[in-house]
Amino acid sequence: MNVVTGDAGRGEAVLIRAIQPNHGWERMRQRRGNRPDTELTNGPAKLCQALGISGQDSGKALNQGDFLLLPPKTNKPPRVTATERIGIKHDTHRLWRFIAT
* String of DSSP letters for 30-49: HHTTS--GGGSSSSHHHHHH
Tell me how far apart the alpha carbons of residues 90 and 79 are, in angstroms, rounded to a whole number: 27
Cα separation, 68 vs 1, in Å, equals 13
- pLDDT at residue 31, as a whole number: 95
The pLDDT of 13-17, averaged and rounded, is 85
pTM of this prediction?
Answer: 0.71
* Model confidence pLDDT, tens digit, residues 31-74: 999 899 999 999 989 999 999 988 888 888 777 666 666 667 77
CATH code that applies to domain 2-100: 3.10.300.10
Q: Report pLDDT digits (tens) over 83-97.
A: 888 778 888 888 888
